[in-house]
Chain A
Amino acid sequence: MRINLRIPILILFFLYLFVPFVSIALWSFATGWRFPDLLPSGYSLRAYEIAADPSGDIVQGVITSTVIALIVGVVATLIGSSAGRAIAMHSFRLKRAFQFLVLAPLIVPSLAVTMGIQILFIRYGLVDTILGVCLAHLIPTVPYVVMIMTGTFANFDRSYEEQGQVLGASRFTVLRKVTIPMVIPGLSVSFLFAFVISWSEYILTLLVGGGSIKTLPLVLFAFLRGSDLPLTGAASIVFMIPPLILLRFTSKYLVGRSSSMTGLGSV
């Protein structure tokens, strides 16, 4: 007789994903939680009150992170979709080399080049600035956008644009009314990826931001090294929310029929 392992494996998988999350969530409300106890000894909203302080590190971190991730999301999507379109729809000299260069940041460990970036950015006065951090964040984000948009444009029929043109629409009108609506799934997923990667980036922000651009991961890391576990828990929960909100609005493009990615099926 075959033993059906599906259900047990599924349960293990969920435990693996959610136990750490549950413990963080519990910690964020805990007043104390000693080792052998299954649950905290008491609950309070103290950590969230501290977290909600408008001049506190967490609120400031959320603001800084949001500004940077939004800029990076938009700029990476713009650059990456142009490159993706070029790769998918045109042939040009040194195309292979261009493709390799665009995707190289995915392969080369970012820590290996961060030193070089830092030296360069110091020379141009870009360290300790939002602009510098945004530029640095483009390095790990653009390749993902290029990958997604190359796939999207490979499935896009350029004849639709020509049809738009022969109907008297200018290139800009065609872009706005024909092309963008047709590749919006790819653009949405690209923006989601770029936003989330930028949102979670730590090392580049630390080195280029020089500690004065305090994004949420930096704040969180400082808490982790301290001993206030409820506050760390609260910061972690706050850290998770924006990407989840974004996922809520882009998930229809991530899976299912109008998906820009393949292989995820329909959940």
Chain B
Amino acid sequence: MSSGIRLVNLRKSFGDVEVLKDINLEVRSGELVSILGSSGCGKTTLLRIVAGLEQSSNGEVYFGDELQNDISVERRSIGMVFQKALLFPNMTIGENIAFSLRAKGEKDEKSKKRVEEMLELVRLPGFYNRRPGELSGGQEQRVSLARSLIRNPKVLLLDEPLSALDANLRVEMRAFISDIHNNFRMTTLFVTHDQEEAMAISDRIAFMDSGILEQLGEPKSFISAPESAKVGKFFGCKNLLDGELKNGQFVSKGLALDTTKSHTLRTVIAAIRQEDLSITEGKTSSSFLAEIIDWQFVGSKILVKCNVVEGEEGLIIYIEVDRFENLEKKARVFIEYRPDRIHIIPKHDVV
């Protein structure tokens, strides 16, 4: 049966370099949590410690209530899929999937039926006698997943399993992993550097930066309520303004915006998502005047770069618009904002 994962005060250093700085994380039983962060943030090291491939310098790893620290890799109840499928080239697909059963000494005839079931599950029926070289990247990764699931592990660890695949296949495999997860409800840690991937697949996201767990929460909270400027930036918020709170207003370089949230802090950062801003015809109660400098296409949307007229020189705001209408360089427009969508971040880090 699947059990939760609990990481307590986890630290890891390689020589003088501290890769993990006091990580505390609880993954509930049956939950899929993504560990998201850019390369070098320590996310893979974290996963390797959970797997037992790496020893932590300090702290504890629990599966359910069982302390795992002194349990070696091969005795931990885990399934792990790496970036590369790593199918053993000297075995057939069937033998690859049966590897964990045979390592335990199970007989071929007994394992064969279960292998066939797993092949069915990963939608590769009849592949038992194929060789690894004959499969596509996506098929190989599905075999790798089947090979990990067949031992019915308590936790499933996925280390960027989709990164080596091309874009279309990645989206397809993402949905596939979601399906498998919904079927089995296996506690899963999913390491990725792809924000979109994490958003699509996770129950919760753990965002890491420089060995620190910056924010843990549901995907939508990373958009609407980033807890730090780093998170805001990583999740694509283009407007992160340094400023102060005065009389219910956020003031930055001469621009004053109404906010609905009351804070006791004075110096803060306001995160205003570009899609929460819009260009209006005339002045409204919550709008300000700006001059269009430039624009660029981002997917099907247009990101418009504006200079705030009311503010000091060099106060830049980005707006996302759906259509290419009335966009003219040097044109002066009113930009409307929603006071309830201005997210205030206490200031304790620098962008």
Contact = CB atoms under 8 A, between A and B. Distances in A.
Interface of A: 157, 159-160, 162-171, 173, 177-178, 181-182
Interface residues of B, number: 23
Interface of B: 51, 53, 73-76, 78-80, 82, 84, 86, 88-90, 99-100, 103-104, 147-148, 151, 157
Contacts of A157: 84, 86
Which of A160, A163, A171 lies at the interface centre, i.e. has the most chain B CB atoms within 10 A of its CB? A163
B90 A167 contact: no
Given A159-B82, A159-B84, A173-B103, A167 B147 contact: yes
B100 A168 contact: yes
A169 B86 contact: no
B264 to A, nearest CB: 49
Contact of B88 (A168, A170, A171, A178): A178
Given A173-B103, A182-B90, A168 B84 contact: no
B78 A166 contact: yes
Contacts of A159: 82, 84, 86
A211 B157 CA distance: 64
A169 B78 CA distance: 12
Contact of A163 (B75, B82, B90, B151): B82
A160 B151 CA distance: 18
B99 A166 contact: no
A169 B88 contact: no
A165 B90 contact: no
A166 B103 contact: no
A170 to B, nearest CB: 6
B84 A167 contact: no
A265 to B, nearest CB: 22
Nearest to B75: A168
B100 A169 contact: yes
For chain B, what secondary structure do more than half of its interface residues adopt (helix, strand, loop), or is it mixed? Answer: mixed
7 contacts: A160-B86, A163-B88, A166-B74, A166-B148, A167-B99, A169-B74, A170-B74
A162 to B, nearest CB: 6
Contact of B99 (A164, A171, A182): A164
A181 B79 CA distance: 23
Contacts of B53: 162, 165-166
B89 A167 contact: no
B103 A160 contact: no
Contacts of A164: 88, 99, 103
Contacts of A173: 103
A169 B101 CA distance: 9
Nearest to A180: B90
B74 A168 contact: yes
A148 B80 CA distance: 32
B90 A181 contact: yes
Secondary structure at chain A's binding surface: helix, strand, loop or mixed? helix
Nearest to A165: B73
A168 B80 contact: no
B243 to A, nearest CB: 48
Q: List the 7 closest A-B pairs by CB distance, nearest first.
A: A181-B90, A169-B103, A166-B80, A167-B100, A163-B86, A165-B73, A168-B100
B79 A166 contact: yes
Contacts of A165: 53, 73-74
A157 B78 CA distance: 21
B83 to A, nearest CB: 9
Nearest to B97: A167
Contacts of B76: 166
B90 A169 contact: no
Nearest to B78: A166
Nearest to A258: B89
Contacts of A163: 80, 82, 86, 88
Given A160-B88, A162-B53, A178-B88, A169 B79 contact: no
B60 to A, nearest CB: 20
Contacts of A178: 88
A181 B311 CA distance: 69
Contacts of B86: 157, 159-160, 163
Contacts of B90: 181-182
Contact of B89 (A166, A177, A182): A182
A93 to B, nearest CB: 14
Contacts of B84: 157, 159
Given A160-B88, A173-B103, A182-B89, A168 B151 contact: yes
B88 A166 contact: no
A166 B104 contact: no
A171 B78 CA distance: 17
Nearest to A169: B103
B51 A167 contact: no
B147 A166 contact: no
Contacts of B78: 166
Contacts of A160: 86, 88
Contact of A168 (B82, B89, B103, B157): B103
A177 B74 CA distance: 15
A159 B85 CA distance: 10
A257 to B, nearest CB: 11
Nearest to B157: A166
A159 B79 CA distance: 14
A170 B86 CA distance: 18
